[in-house]
Amino acid sequence: MTRIRAAVCTAFDAPLQIEELDLRAPGAGEIEVTLEAVAICHSDISYATGAWGGALPAVYGHEAAGRVTALGEGISGLQTGDRVVVTLIRACGTCPTCASGRPTICIGDRDTTPVLTRPDGTEVMSAMFCGAFAEKVVVDQSQVVVLPDDMPPEAVCLLACGVITGIGAVINAGKMRPGDDVVVIGAGGVGLNAIQGAHIGGARRIVAVDMSEEKLDIARAFGATDGILATQDAPWEAAHTALGRGADVVAVTVGAIPAYEQAMRYLGWGGRMVMIGMPHSGAMATYEPVVPAFMGQEMIGSKMGDVVIQRDIPWMADLYRQGRLKLDELVSGRWRLDQINEAIADTMTGGARRNVILFDSH
């Protein structure tokens, strides 16, 4: 066992508590990673507020970067000292969804051996197979990708979730082709990356929709050609005017029911609405099904951008190193682990792109 510090959720919708926990050694097929950075994702906040339930106590955090510091049995292709990005995508590689190229929805068996415990032996859940609001993690080797040493940890960690989710939702799930028109609802961390994905993929026009003019200005800096306030009457009509027609792809990056209920109105004939943002459990949206049936439109759920991390993260990292993918600009603030509640509060204001906890700064 290794003693580490972690931010523990002991009650939903309450501040996280910094505790000392015991981290077990990696088992077969697992590695230990000493973290350098972890970003705060809105999914972490949703879990911590009880939006989707789950067991407590728990350590959240799933957008991480660090160095491999221990290897379990049977590990190949990794060695201690490697800089890696740590994702929540734990894939068995052999179940039907993995075998069909969709590891983000792996349905294979999971090892349920506890990774974290309190000194008194109480199990602490490593949420989302990561538990990365902590100094170290033990994860399955399938969850990591080796990245170059010259990338700063703040940039590396963003490739674990927000970046791959946004870009992948447009390119992989939305099947955007060069010349397509794209609407992105929500210009937060995931939305900005959906915009970047559309830009990199050769979209003709990219319309950002958000509640804030400030965020629309940021969206333009990330590649949006047009910005529309969601607060105006019938914003989809403004989008149609900007595009000259309905959109080919609409990416909903916020977990807001009004956004989902309006999203189909932005679509053109044969358009595809990609569902990324996750509302609270039990929240319901309504549609008029005759419209997508008549217009040949699709509603597509997308988890983690439908990525294959060993395929997709390396090319995104290379685009960053070429200056073609913005990562540094996504970082809104840098915090210490003992400042995590302040960082979460800042994220919840809606203005932050990504707040990052740095572990070498405490």
pLDDT tens per residue across span 54-113: 899 999 999 999 999 999 999 999 999 999 999 999 999 999 999 999 999 999 987 778
Residue 362 has pLDDT above 50, yes or no: no
Average pLDDT of the chain is: 94
Residues 232-246: tens digit of each pLDDT: 999 999 999 999 999
Residues 8-40: tens digit of each pLDDT: 999 999 999 999 999 999 999 999 999 999 999
Rounded to two decimals, the pTM is 0.92
DSSP string, 28-51: TTEEEEEEEEEEPPHHHHHHHTTT
Predicted confidence at residue 361, as pLDDT, reads 42
Q: For tokens 């969709």, what's the residue?
A: 102
Fold: same for 2-159+327-358 and 166-302: no
Measured CA to CA, the distance from residue 30 to residue 71 in angstroms comes to 7
Of all residues in the chain, the percent with pLDDT exceeding 70 is: 99
Q: Which class would CATH give 2-159+327-358?
A: alpha beta
Local structure of 83: helix, strand or coil? strand
Residues 116-167: tens digit of each pLDDT: 999 999 999 999 999 999 999 999 999 999 999 999 999 889 999 999 999 9
Element (H, E) at 3: strand 2-8
Measured CA to CA, the distance from residue 171 to residue 140 in angstroms comes to 27
The domain limits of the chain are: 2-159+327-358, 166-302
Predicted confidence at residue 352, as pLDDT, reads 74
- Topology annotation, domain 166-302: Rossmann fold (3.40.50)
Residue 200 has pLDDT above 50, yes or no: yes
Residues 243-296: tens digit of each pLDDT: 999 999 999 999 999 999 999 999 999 999 999 999 988 999 998 999 999 999
Task: Output the CA torsion 18→19→22→23 (10° steps).
Answer: -10
Residue 179 has pLDDT above 90, yes or no: yes
DSSP string, 104-126: GG--S-------EE-TTS-EEEE
Q: In the structure encoding, which two tokens stand for residue 198, read together?
A: 């559309």
